[in-house]
Structure 1
Amino acid sequence: MTDTAQNLRNLHDGKASRLSVAPMMDWTDTHCRAFHRVLSRRALLYTEMVTAPAILHGDRSRLLGFAPAEQPVALQIGGSDPRELAEAARIGGDWGYPEVNLNCGCPSDRVQSGCFGAVLMEKPDLVAEGLRAMREATDAEITVKCRIGVDDQDPESALPRFLDAVAGVGVRRVTIHARKAWLQGLSPKENREVPPLDYPLVLRMKARFPELHVSLNGGVQTLAQAESLLAQGLDGVMIGRAAYHQPWDILGEADRLWSGTPPLAGPEEAARAMIPQIEAHLAQGGRLHQVTRHMLGLFVGRPGARGWRRILSEEANRPGAGVGVLLKALAAVEEEGRRAA
């Protein structure tokens, strides 16, 4: 069996989602995923959220394109119209995504006006209708990402009601952001930080719905914290900004969660492993910054981290910038490391 086939099998039986990287707008593009896949062979990666109407009417190559080496990778979509969701899921499956995830957790103004995202926590019957239509349209696994509730909802009753609806149409995998979303009064950024986390509630939901594969999202900052949550009975942990800003600390060591070994010796090797990706992107007319912006945190907490970040930030966006900029930044890191030794 090829590595890609094994990755797809792992995705379908839930193994890959033992640790996943959250879908993040303007962040988790194909270059980000290529970098994260260099760091971890096993973690489940996601696209940015794409609305169902955009998939139906937009540039699918730009919105849905990914490299086979990124697998396992899941497509996250937003929407609420069952017919649109079904068609978007079918298209996603046809493009090779083995998982299509419905966003029921994003709190931005745009998703509220479009009746998708976190506002759907108030519409479990509509969510169930959409999920049923998606499951009938594709063989890709259909999953859900949600909050514990919104606004004045009581999570103790709203969340199990929502999960009942999800499970009732055959969905078997859900990721729960362990915070409420306040659609009135808080910005999207504040909604990621201000509402208190309620990990015990998510753990109770796993006990109440043992047939569901439950992943927890929200506030997880370290791999050790993820391991602790898994040890308490959760099936998976999803990490967002921490995995992006401290990629080596989390993803560089992540594969040991599957009783494996880290794929690389260190962040220096990860940097060099990205050179083919960079060269291919530049050959297609792309800019160095479009790749290296995802790599700025690679050496966080290590000697030379400041120089690495400075060189890439200042030089990668210049016209004609190439692999030499990356090598210059890496040389600065290695020189600082020798001085610190």
Structure 2
Amino acid sequence: DYRLPPLLKRPLPHAPPPSPPAAVSQVTVRDALNQALDEELERDERVFLLGEEVAQYDGAYKISRGLWKKYGDKRVIDTPISEMGFAGIAVGAAMAGLRPVCEFMTFNFSMQAIDQVINSAAKTCYMSAGSIAVPIVFRGPNGASAGVAAQHSQCFAAWYGHCPGLKVVSPWSSEDAKGLLKAAIRDDNPVVMLESELLYGVPFEMSEQAQSKEFVIPIGKAKIERQGTHVTLVAHSRPVGHCVEAAAVLSKEGVECEVINLRTIRPMDIETVEASVVKTNHLVTVEGGWPQFGVGAEICARIMEGPAFNYLDAPAVRVTGADVPMPYAKILEDNSIPQVKDIVFAVKKALNM
């Protein structure tokens, strides 16, 4: 009978076990921001947090939960209800070498302090010929919440994105929130961080790498959340999620959307958008802000002025908030901000479906 040679009778060596997948956890945007603040307060003693109710009350949205007890009165500071006052204190502290994180309870209230943000923070490095840096972060919820009417529901991405001297970031996921906040705190320029109150309690997957203390996301770099070939969807903040949902709906109809999470409003990563438009030949922008002079308008203009314009097979389409002050009634509010159905309609319009 046929027998194997002795060498082949030996047990074959086992293949090495596959390396375990990187640990992934569900983390809410609220907890991701809290992690970032905690890690940066611990890493750099020049960092401090100030704003209304950020200390003893743990923050109006619990973003600063536990930080006052851990770091004390000098690092986590409750302020009076005076945005111009505490924003001015924060800007002065930054000029003197500290790294303040100034929380607005909502960016609608930053209107009280816009002189400090623009005239005091954004312009000083240029006006001092680079001799005075203003390393400060202005952060808080931006855009529509739920049922808070016109004076609490504006998106200020276009307002602050308009101003040279500022960097402006607008996170969507927990990973965005943590990585961008840490990058903003470490940056030597004033950074405006526009968060979404409606996302604070939403959990997102976060990799082990994203939960490390040295994880940062470079300011000025967009992320492709979904690959596609037929149309480019560009959004920031909460509408990114709507775009991902719309892409799933359209995929069932044979339309593959490429979804770009802008992450940064200024400086804008137009190169990533251009590369996508060259591939898909169609562009739809989505934002919660008003249409006139908006973020989508800027993206469309930049595409029109650049090399990607020649690859467009149809006009770009903008999906925006309605051109009205935000209504209080829920059904009117829902019809004033982009929904998934609006994005699906815009894509079909761009593709002439």
TM-score, length-scaled by structure 1: 0.32
Greater helix content: 1
**If you compute each CA radius of gyration, which structure gives the higher value, 1 or 2?**
2
